[in-house]
Amino acid sequence: MRTERKQPVKMKEFTPAEQRAARAARIEVSEAEPYGWIAHSETDGGGSYHLFCDPAAKRLVCTCADFIFRGDASPAYECKHISATLKYIGRRYLEHDYNPRRHRQAA
């Protein structure tokens, strides 16, 4: 039996975007009623945040403090909940809606 332990990865060796992507892997996303999504983060002490699509900007908006403060400074900012929700939407799209033939038929 191996007793050596894996060295923990030092977070500071990653860029901020990579750190957010790594943390996003531990966020569970589900559909919210009546619209949007709920991101549940175990790493934030079990906090849940509501995300929805801003109809004007066509971008996801999150209710967490990180997004509210840093999103003001940089409109393209994506918090870890947005990263997780984009992955969730992408997977659902590929599983349920993606159909390459539909584009040809519509043309």
Residue numbers of the site for Zn ion (CB under 5 A)? 62, 64, 67, 79, 81
27 or 56, CB closer to Zn ion?
27
31 or 98: whose CB is closer to Zn ion?
A: 31
Task: List phi, psi (to 5°) of 2.
Answer: -80, 135
CB-based contact 41:49 (threshold 8 Å):
yes
Give the nearest distance from C-beta 90 to Zn ion in angstroms: 17
Smallest separation, CB 56 to Zn ion (Å)? 19
Q: CB of residue 99 vs Zn ion: minimum separation in angstroms?
A: 31
